[in-house]
Amino acid sequence: MKITIGHLYPDLLNLYGDRGNIQCMKKRCEWRGIEAEVKEFQLTDAIDFSSLDIVLLGGGSDREQMLVCNQLKTIQKDFKEYVEDNGVVIAVCGGYQLLGHYYDTSEGRIEGLSLVDLYTEQGSPRLISNIVIENEAFPYPIVGFENHGGRTFINGNKALGKVSFGYGNNGQDKEEGVMYKNVIGTYLHGPLLPKNPHVCDHLLARALAKKYGRAELEPLDDAQEKEANEYIVHRFTKS
């Protein structure tokens, strides 16, 4: 079995330890004897989405997102097809905002990919905090760190979780992130996947199921992952 991970524009979208998300998916495949290949795409590269099993869209500064957004128009159609065909996507921070229709900033509108029905508006102050969210579909909370000026509204889509500590999508509705088909968008970094191996395995399982029709993931020893996760849960929601 083999998983191919496409990392979009790591030169521009690489804030907040995005490399850790890639590393986590790669290692958790390898530890199970599943081959994992990471393909990095630069801004002008052509992307064959049919060759990818997981797409990672990371975070960048507003300025860098502006540079990326012009290029995104050229891949929008193929990317949309990939998503509608249940392709797996993990989009973090800036990448999450780019999933939507637009991000309105004081410097102008950053057009998004319109892959998911959501939009983002700049707000003040920046929402900066450790964050803990809960989703019944996952066996324990999802933890991370958020740092975003944008307020995201997901228009009735399913959220990734309910906020038990921190701000979430917009600091108002106590929701964080979005889940649409096999797409997860979230403001959580820290990075997201190493401390949330259940989310990582969810993505891997979806990718394997789509590719091979079945998805049995051998359990791994996640004691250290859980300890790091529990530390945050305990410190911010139980004290």
Partner 1 sequence: MMVQIMKLRRITAILTAKALSFFCKIAGRQGVTMAGRIALRIDPDILKDLAAQVREKIFVVCGTNGKTTTNNLLCSAVESEGKKLICNHTGSNMLAGVAAAFVLGAKWNGKLDADYACIEIDEASTVRVFPHFTPDYMVLTNLFRDQLDRYGEIDITMDLLDRAMKMAPDMTVIVNADDALSAYLAIESGNKYVTYGISEKVFDEQNIREIREGRFCKRCGERLEYDFYHYSQIGVYHCPGCGFSRPAVNFDASHIHMSNGLEFDVEGRHIAADYRGFYNIYNILAAYSAARTAGMELKRFDRVLQNFNPQNGRNETFSINGNKVLLNLAKNPAGFNQNISSVMEDPNEKDLIIVINDNAQDGTDISWLWDVDFDRFAADNIRSITVSGIRCQDMRLRLKYVDIAADLIGDVRTAIEKSLKNGCGNLYVLVNYTALYSTHTILKDMEGKV
Edge-first strand order for the sheet with 54-57 is 35-41, 2-8, 54-57, 88-92, 183-186, 178-180
- CB nearer partner 1, residue 26 or residue 210: 26
In DSSP terms, which residues pair with 102 in a beta bridge? 111
Q: Is 150 in the site for partner 1 (CB under 8 A)?
A: no
Q: Is 48 in the site for partner 1 (CB under 8 A)?
A: no
| Distance of alpha carbon 196 from alpha carbon 198, whole angstroms | 5
Write out the two tokens for 194: 């190493």
| Distance of alpha carbon 68 from alpha carbon 29, whole angstroms | 29
Q: Which of 217, 181, 180 is nearest to 202 (CA)?
A: 217
From the CB of 156, what's the least distance to partner 1, in Å?
Answer: 30
Q: Is 189 a catalytic residue?
A: yes
Residue from 148, 189, 198, 202 carrying the catalytic annotation: 189
Q: Is 8 in the site for partner 1 (CB under 8 A)?
A: no
Q: Is 23 in the site for partner 1 (CB under 8 A)?
A: yes
From the CB of 86, what's the least distance to partner 1, in Å?
Answer: 28
Q: Is 194 in the site for partner 1 (CB under 8 A)?
A: yes
In angstroms, how far is CA 227 from the centroid of its own chain? 22
Residue from 24, 29, 69, 93 carrying the catalytic annotation: 93
| Distance of alpha carbon 104 from alpha carbon 106, whole angstroms | 7
From the CB of 38, what's the least distance to partner 1, in Å?
Answer: 11
- CB nearer partner 1, residue 6 or residue 87: 6
| Distance of alpha carbon 18 from alpha carbon 66, whole angstroms | 19
Q: Is 89 in the site for partner 1 (CB under 8 A)?
A: no
Which stretches of the chain bind partner 1, using CB under 8 A? 11-12, 14-20, 23-24, 27, 61-64, 67, 126, 128, 130, 145, 147, 189-191, 194-195, 224-225, 227-228, 231
